Amino acid sequence: MKYKISVISGDGIGPEITKCSIGVMKSLEDKLNIEFELLEIEAGDSALKNNGVALSDEAIDKIKTTNACIKAPVGESAMEVIVKLRQLFDLYVNLRPAKSFPTVKSLDDDIDMLIVRENTEDLYKGQEFRIGDKAIALRTISEKASTRIAEYAFNIAKTRNNKVTVVHKSNVLKMTDGLFAECANKSAQKNSNIIFSEMYVDACAMNLIRNPKEFDVIVTTNMFGDILSDEAAQVVGGLGLAPSANIGDDFALFEPVHGAAPDIAGKNIANPIAMILSIKMMMEWLHTINNDNDCQIAAEIIQKAVENSLENNIKSVELGGKSSTSQIGEYITNYISNYNL
Ligand code: ATP
């Protein structure tokens, strides 16, 4: 099948890792019955500098014509790009898997968890203001958003190990997290076959390090999910390996968890795997909504290619290796091109 994909190359290390990801998509096209029409979208700090706006209406209109978006990190204007896109397209689910990889130092073997983060509200709505000498941020948690994210988490748990942990801080944030916990509990009652537990966010931060294998699906609010998923990424090897998906009812956007990493930009040392695994998540999503088996095969080949690269010590500097961004990209692309179906 043919898919129209919008591509945001972003800032910092964004263009380097995007180049590798496009290479991966091209190698999939050669191998399988999949065709990508890529639509380059200018967004982020460079767009802000060139056009005075980080995400223009024209860019949004272009994205609307596509089936999905693949996005590299943007720099200082991240809020104006990703938060806006999540809200505009109502991408209410943020999936952030953390799974141990072969030969990568991880806190334990066989860690395999999925953070299901609510993606549209909480403090990240950015409703802040100043009154005199005070700065105030509003935290919005709604029954609708909490219920749909809880439902999503329970449904996805059925495709995994039937286990959900809801993470919140309802003992302090009695109204907001109280409502979130209440909605999760209602979903738990409807799904009595799923092992359900509740955990305060501070205890979760500790337990992710003390016993990461305890977790399977974690469902939580926007900001806690953002913080815990960076921690979970490090537990299994680092941000350079952490992909994510932002999913709505009829559109989805895929991006690495990490930021634009300006400290290593332009040096050809960034790890492109987080973005390549985000392409894998896109292929899984395209499979789910189009029932296109080639997309599922593509996702499996990407996973094997990444594992094979790590097993053969094709590792970036932050993982203790010596391979450059382009070398990792080429290795993975070649693996896919030579893969025996
Ligand atoms: P943001 O707030 O946008 O998430 P940040 O500055 O907090 O960004 P990152 O840009 O994600 O964080 O980078 C944090 C650190 O991790 C940096 O020192 C960076 O070099 C490193 N890092 C992030 N992504 C990668 C990557 N793909 N490969 C190698 N190192 C990375």
User: What's the pLDDT score for residue 164?
Assistant: 98
Does the C-beta of 61 come closer than 6 Å to ligand 1? Answer: no
Please check whether residue 111 is in contact with residue 211, taking contact to mean a CB–CB distance below 8 angstroms: no
Give the Å distance between the CA of 163 and the centre of ligand 1: 31
Residue 213, φ and ψ in degrees, nearest 5: -70, -10
Tokens of residue 308, six digits = 């094979």
**From atom 15 of ligand 1, which residue's Cα is the shortest distance away?**
261
Active site residue 226: yes
User: What's the pLDDT score for residue 79?
Assistant: 87
Does the C-beta of 39 come closer than 6 Å to ligand 1? Answer: no
Collect all residues with Cβ–Cβ distance below 8 Å to 333 and sequence separation of at least 6.
20, 23, 24, 26, 27
pTM of the model: 0.95
Cα angle for residues 154, 94, 27 (degrees, 5° grid):
110
DSSP state at residue 23? H
Give the Å distance between the CA of 13 and the centre of ligand 1: 9
User: What's the pLDDT score for residue 255?
Assistant: 98
Does the C-beta of 188 come closer than 6 Å to ligand 1? Answer: no
User: What's the pLDDT score for residue 163?
Assistant: 98
Ligand 1: which of 74, 81, 94, 258 to mutate, judged by most atoms within 8 Å of the beta carbon? 258
pLDDT in tens, 209-220: 999 999 999 999
Tokens of residue 260, six digits = 């634009």
Task: Provide the H-helix boundaries in 67-121.
Answer: 78, 84-88
DSSP 270-323: S--HHHHHHHHHHHHHHHHHH--HHHHHHHHHHHHHHHHHHHTT---GGGT---
> Which H/E stretch holds residue 174?
none
Short-list 80, 61, 47, 57, CA closest to 6: 61
User: What's the pLDDT score for residue 287?
Assistant: 97
Please check whether residue 219 is in contact with residue 116, taking contact to mean a CB–CB distance below 8 angstroms: yes
Task: Please check whether the two domains, 1-95+240-341 and 107-235, share a CATH topology.
Answer: yes
Active site residue 152: no
User: What's the pLDDT score for residue 341?
Assistant: 87
3-class DSSP assignment, residue 33: coil
Encode the chain (341 residues) as per-residue pLDDT tens digits: 999 999 999 999 999 999 999 999 999 999 999 999 999 999 999 999 999 999 999 999 999 999 999 999 999 999 899 989 998 999 999 999 999 999 999 999 999 999 999 999 999 998 999 999 999 999 999 999 999 999 999 999 999 999 999 999 999 999 999 999 999 999 999 999 999 999 999 999 999 999 999 999 999 999 999 999 999 999 999 999 999 999 999 999 999 999 999 999 999 999 999 999 999 999 999 999 999 999 999 999 999 999 999 999 999 999 999 999 999 999 999 999 999 98
The whole-angstrom separation of Cα 13 and Cα 262 is 7
- Looking at domain 1-95+240-341, its CATH architecture is 3-Layer(aba) Sandwich (3.40)
Domain 107-235, CATH number (from 3.40.50.2300, 1.10.3370.10, 3.40.718.10, 1.10.1370.30): 3.40.718.10
pLDDT in tens, 240-277: 999 999 999 999 999 999 999 999 999 999 999 999 99
**From atom 4 of ligand 1, which residue's Cα is the shortest distance away?**
259
Active site residue 216: no
**From atom 20 of ligand 1, which residue's Cα is the shortest distance away?**
261
Q: Where along the chain do its domains lie? A: 1-95+240-341, 107-235
**From atom 21 of ligand 1, which residue's Cα is the shortest distance away?**
261
What burial letters (b/e) apply to 200-234, b meaning 16+ CB within 10 Å?
A: bbeebbeebeeebeebbbbbbbbebbbebbbebbb
What is the average pLDDT score of the chain? 97
